[in-house]
Amino acid sequence: MEIENNTSYSFWERTSHISFLKRLLYPKKVEKSLKTPSIITEECEGLLLNNQLIKSILFSTDLALIENNDCDAILAVYPFSPSKRIMESIINFSSKPVICGVGGARTQGRTSVEMSVFAEKYGASAVIVNQPFKAKDIAKIKQKINIPIISSVTNLQCDFEKRIDAGVSIFNVTGGSQTLAIVKHIRQHFPHIPIICTGGKSLQDITRVIENKVKAVILTPPSNATMFKKAMENYRKGIVKFKNYF
């Protein structure tokens, strides 16, 4: 499966506008601006994190996006070394389970172990490492924490069995064009291991991964820049229409 990469909102654009009358009549019911596609909540089996059933996971560290979506959990990873301040801020801000990135190609060994202990202490529901992270360091983390360890998988060269033996209990498949092949491989050889998976940007991509029995789908929201660009375009159109009345 090729994960689509474009600047469109894609399925996020399907969010319905909340009318003034609806807000007036139902003030206690707060609907989020970025709504999860219903197929995820209806078709995914889900997995338990902190005794909460998780079917949709938002991939973001942006507090505004975290506040304005209705996903079940947050995936807090970024292309820098793990930060205690970022972990603590997102965990304290979010009312949902948070999965914290603690290691990868840059950060391994003792630092990752310390970050994992810190993440658990401050309330993270799981920690996640990427494929270059060494299995021996996964084993060290496992000795120190009780929350689940998730391993990202980007290709079939991953030593799945070695990582499971080290302490990984969930695989996160993010393999681009190899995504479905990786999911099928894990399901065939390690059927007892839950799989979460990137869902791409289209409903078609999401449907494909759900059909392959992943437990939860990871959604990447549009950026603030993309949403502002769309809003500004609509504002300009509205101003032109308003001027045409005079």
- pLDDT of 135 strictly over 80: yes
- pLDDT of 101 strictly over 50: yes
pLDDT digits (tens, 9 = 90+) for 143-183: 999 999 999 999 999 999 999 999 999 999 999 889 999 99
Separation between Cα atoms, residue 149 and residue 168, nearest integer Å? 5
In the prediction, which pLDDT does 105 show? 74
Instruction: Please tell me which residue, 4 or 152, carries the higher pLDDT value.
Output: 152
In the prediction, which pLDDT does 198 show? 93
> In a 10 Å sphere around its CB, with 0-12 CB exposed, 13-18 middle and 19+ buried, how is residue 40 labelled?
buried
Q: Which residues make beta-bridge pairs with 152?
A: 172
In the prediction, which pLDDT does 47 show? 95
- DSSP secondary structure letter of residue 34: B
Mean pLDDT of 202-230: 87
- pLDDT of 239 strictly over 80: no
Is the overall model pTM greater than 0.95, yes or no? no
In the prediction, which pLDDT does 179 show? 93
Separation between Cα atoms, residue 193 and residue 116, nearest integer Å? 21
Alpha carbon distances (Å) from 70 to 40, 73, 106, 138, 238? 12, 9, 32, 31, 29
pLDDT digits (tens, 9 = 90+) for 78-93: 989 899 999 999 999 9
Summary mean pLDDT of the chain: 85
In the prediction, which pLDDT does 22 show? 54
- pLDDT of 245 strictly over 70: no
Q: How many percent of the chain have pLDDT more than 90?
A: 62
pLDDT digits (tens, 9 = 90+) for 5-62: 433 455 665 444 455 455 555 555 556 678 889 999 999 999 999 899 999 999 999 9
* Cβ–Cβ under 8 Å, residues 167 and 139: yes
